[in-house]
Chain A
């Protein structure tokens, strides 16, 4: 299979300390080739998943995330370090995605086929063992896909905020900085997005009990 799902933090997803991050960025600015290689290695999972969250499908996410890294490479000299690097890179991903949308002017279409047909009684909620059982993994994947489809159905601005807040643990401040919006606007948009999601997920939440 092309993709695997995993919650485990691997080396490539390991969060760097602020000092380690600054040192790595400085090496990138100094033009050390291997440094950028390492930076991609460290951030690729977060960047790809963020791109997936806002683009809604793996192919577009792949393109957006790759282009975002190229833009990071070309503009890393302008990153002054005032902002969090992750915030900066998420802003670049967001801009790449919105630029692509402007160019294509094609609205995404959510295929009904993408929704997973959940048979009645196919999902149980017996959580006894901490480690995921095979059936549980499948259930989690199905559940993730259902939520993913619901997020995809949101308008761009709501989807980006939901992805940042819920899927990438960004604070209101960071989202406001990334999107150049007042915090109050971020909060109200997130609330509206959550309300919309609750409606979209209505059928599915009944299924999950």
Chain B
């Protein structure tokens, strides 16, 4: 057997996958060839070294980065073609007959002159200029708002904190983003329940819309459609935590005064009503099951309405950002 053939068979011999006659020839060559024998020994050592290799832990932030990219890919929408992103080299290499090109340019010039110097100008201007809405709503019909709230809040006693980001509640994506952060050294498992639209009580049971982990010192992001209320549950150090987030379908950019209708519902139902009426996000914890009855009130601001509701149940209310309010235990 030649050296090259012997070396081709190193793996087969190592794995005991050779027929006896071939094995005998292989071993005879090794016994006679010090070079191949030395190579085979190095071969074995190299394999032993590979078997002892250690695994790495995944980098910090890996999990949340994957989930954010997945979320992004889920929401991919066709992008409009921009003039600066066109492949201009390709555009200019398109072969167009010179005469057709000249005719096209002439026609375009003629149309432009007609539009510019005749009454057509004002008509077309009205047709193509978007009329800007002046209402207060921030939603699919109001693309003009840019200052949108992002609020971070810590939950008392838990090392998890939650950020509600309403910056994506716009004409393009009517979505709130809930971001979870943990300072704990252990991964925290959390559940997000989408409360039924017709739920009258905070205890309405349903299955989790999302369950996941917040890894140590990492973020998790959950996107929620506008007009949804979610319940967030998690456990940490043997203690259970629960928060509700009421996200209106139309987020208001100003704290406008409105006439409060008659309210006769659980605290949960009342908060939902106020959230939708004023277009404000309400983050609530504590006992929301008590009933609250309020007569129709005169025009008042959202914080006043929320204060009236919260104090019935011994809860306190505070504004934490533009159009975001927090209701929690304690006066």
Contacts and interface: CB of A to CB of B under 8 A. Distances in A.
B59 A37 contact: no
A7 interface: yes
Interface stretch (B45-53, B168-176, B253-261): B45-53
Given A41-B63, A41-B213, A143 B52 contact: yes
B235 interface: no
Interface string B20-58: 000000000000000000010011011101111111111
B262 interface: no
Contact of A148 (B43, B53, B63): B53
A2 B59 CA distance: 7
A147 B49 contact: yes
Nearest to B59: A62
User: Majority SS of interface residues in chain B?
Assistant: helix
A6 B57 contact: yes
Interface residues of B, number: 42
Contacts of B52: 140, 143-144, 147
Contacts of A36: 67, 70
Contact of A44 (B8, B45, B46, B58): B58
* Residue from B11, B56, B63 whose CB has the most chain A CB atoms within 10 Å: B56
Interface stretch (A17-25, A105-113, A194-202): A194-202
A12 B187 CA distance: 11
Contacts of A197: 46, 50
A70 B43 contact: no
A65 interface: yes
A40 B67 contact: yes
A141 B45 contact: no
Nearest to A9: B55
B49 A34 contact: no
17 contacts: A2-B59, A4-B57, A5-B55, A6-B54, A36-B70, A41-B213, A48-B56, A48-B58, A62-B59, A65-B66, A73-B70, A167-B53, A191-B10, A197-B46, A198-B46, A199-B42, A201-B49
Which 5 residue pairs spanning A and B have beta carbons closest together? A34-B211, A37-B212, A191-B11, A198-B42, A198-B46
Interface of B: 7-12, 39, 42-43, 45-47, 49-60, 62-63, 65-67, 69-70, 73-74, 191, 208-213, 220, 222
